[in-house]
Structure 1
Amino acid sequence: MPQNRLTRLFQEKSGNLLNIYFTAGYPKLEDTVTILEELEAAGADLVEIGMPFSDPLADGPTIQASNQVALENGMSIKKLLNQLVQVRERVSLPLILMGYLNPVMQYGFERFCEEAARVGVDGLILPDLPFAEYEEEYKPVLEKYGLSLIFLITPQTSEARIRQIDALTNSFIYMVSSASTTGSQVQASDSQQAYFSKVQKLGLKNPLLIGFGISDKPSFELACQSAHGAIIGSAFIKALQKPSEVRENVRSFLQSIKG
């Protein structure tokens, strides 16, 4: 598969990678590109843009609420792709679209991949895409458009499945910190550290980013001790809720993590 911004990033930077998640169309419908511009200026390494869905199963209350607001604001896959048409003139960060299979299938899987690639998207996270179906049916489509698919692993994922995922991955593996939904806190608990350590010892070829429960500088630094970086979602969404101007909220939040 040809290189994209995502694969290049992991070749150029090996640790302390900060991946920020936000929901497209939140807090306001037209905030998407503004937030992306400010995330790049403030030092994020890569970004996950959430495609809002009415039933986001893996997400905790903060991200669920942002999905609801974004849908009420009028956000859709078509609207998001339209917003991103000229984003590459202003933003060079690797961009990942994260969402659920149902709206993507309604849009048309290949049409979605083709249009996402055209506007400069580098990868997808579709947590409910069955692994076997990806291998048999969807992998050639993603490869055709140069898109990386990122898989999630959890403390319950078997070693055999982790190795299978590693073999099929060409960017990074999303390491879910616990079996709960997003927004629960990463802690230096024995069970969590044992899980991180077990995965580290597998000697996987792909980098690992830890997500779910990373909310501040200490939890970011803790995650970076066990992986190549970490993903922050719910805490960033909460920062966007502050009454200040959206650019200021983005800047001050990233300063609190990286400063």
Structure 2
Amino acid sequence: MNRLTTLFLNKQKNILSVYFTAGFPKLNDTTEILRELQKQDVDLVEIGIPFSDPMADGPVIQQSSQTALNNGMSIKVLFEQLKDIRKSIKIPLIMMGYLNPIMQYGFEAFCKSCKETGIDGLIIPDLPFNEYVSEFKPIADKYGISIVMLITPQTSEERIRLIDKQTNSFIYMVSSASTTGAQSNFNDDKQAYFRRIHDMQLRNPLLIGFGISNAKTLQTAFTNASGGIIGSQFIKELQQSPNNIASAVSSLRTTLEL
């Protein structure tokens, strides 16, 4: 078992996952953000690899990605920053990035670096499922890296069950087919979608992401899945407190009423 599977074995509900863009607000903030998120009881962290064309991301994360690139962030720099992270960080860590920069690094080399660094999982939003199964999963399995697949309201039940069969940590349930970004609440259609997937009784736990920005949307995620993923809202908090990471994390917890 790795840290991801251990987390979901020990905690089935109210899991809080937080995303941030590596290299934002400043290039060398990565380790401090991770330490503060762990200190303030976040269960799981997604480290975003900045990319110039992040098609699944809304304007807030797009802007943070561009700032990080301008600051000089790259995959090589990120792995260098994370090389000793497991001396202080015990919670599961996932990297989230697009296929292009990962392939430029080399997928097997990337997985090897993840293993050496202590990264537990990987989310690649633009990785086609069939290519994942045939080409990427065997390499990731070799290095003990869990690849997390995304589903949307448009994903067929057949595909969802295939994803459930071919993955081994959790399924990222995207709240809508649009890009990331804050929503004040989830409408009836989205809540019906959450219930439909919940009622499928999948083998893997579910985390809901895209649009969680306040206590109401987070509680909806907690009710309908094992937990929720916060992204854009935390980026906003970092924008408002770029020189005080602890304050940004505390503000996020206040916004979410945790």
TM-score, structure 1 as length reference:
0.97
Deviation at 1:186, TM superposition (A): 6.0
Alpha-carbon distance change, 143 to 258 in structure 1, aligned in 2, over 3 angstroms: farther
Give the aligned CA root-mean-square deviation in angstroms: 1.1
Question: Which of 142, 146, 165 is the equivalent residue of 1:148?
Answer: 146
> Any stretches of 5+ residues in structure 1 without a counterpart?
none
What is the CA–CA distance in structure 1 between the aligned matches of 2:185 and 2:256, rounded to whole Å? 16
Residue aligning to 1:47: 45
What is the CA–CA distance in structure 2 between the aligned matches of 1:188 and 1:56, rounded to whole Å? 24
Residue aligning to 1:161: 159
What is the CA–CA distance in structure 1 between the aligned matches of 2:178 and 2:234, rounded to whole Å? 18
Instruction: Say whether the 8 Å CA contact 1:170–1:206 is kept in structure 2.
Output: yes
User: Match for 2:220: what amino acid?
Assistant: L
Instruction: Say whether the 8 Å CA contact 2:182–2:233 is kept in structure 1.
Output: no
Instruction: Say whether the 8 Å CA contact 1:43–1:254 is kept in structure 2.
Output: no
Return 22-31 or 213-222, whichever deviates more: 213-222
Query: Deviations 1:120-151 (Å, cap 9, x if unpaired)?
Result: 00000001111111111111110011000000
User: Match for 2:239: what amino acid?
Assistant: Q
Question: Which of 76, 91, 94 is the equivalent residue of 1:93?
Answer: 91
Deviation at 1:64, TM superposition (A): 0.2
User: Match for 2:127: what amino acid?
Assistant: L
Query: What is the SS of the residue equivalent to 1:48?
Result: strand
What is the CA–CA distance in structure 1 between the aligned matches of 2:61 and 2:83, rounded to whole Å? 25
What is the CA–CA distance in structure 1 between the aligned matches of 2:182 and 2:33, rounded to whole Å? 24
> Any stretches of 5+ residues in structure 2 without a counterpart?
none
Query: What is the SS of the residue equivalent to 2:190?
Result: helix
Deviation at 1:254, TM superposition (A): 2.4
Residue aligning to 1:113: 111
Instruction: Say whether the 8 Å CA contact 1:38–1:251 is kept in structure 2.
Output: no
Between the aligned residues of both structures, percent identity stands at 58
Instruction: Say whether the 8 Å CA contact 1:223–1:229 is kept in structure 2.
Output: yes
Question: Which of 113, 126, 130 is the equivalent residue of 1:128?
Answer: 126
What is the CA–CA distance in structure 1 between the aligned matches of 2:31 and 2:239, rounded to whole Å? 17
Instruction: Say whether the 8 Å CA contact 1:113–1:142 is kept in structure 2.
Output: yes
Structure 2 residue 79 is the aligned partner of structure 1 residue 84:
no
Question: Which of 59, 62, 69 is the equivalent residue of 1:61?
Answer: 59
What is the CA–CA distance in structure 2 between the aligned matches of 1:216 and 1:184, rounded to whole Å? 8
User: Match for 1:257: what amino acid?
Assistant: L
What is the CA–CA distance in structure 1 between the aligned matches of 2:66 and 2:4, rounded to whole Å? 29
Question: Which of 202, 205, 213 is the equivalent residue of 2:203?
Answer: 205
TM-score, structure 2 as length reference:
0.97
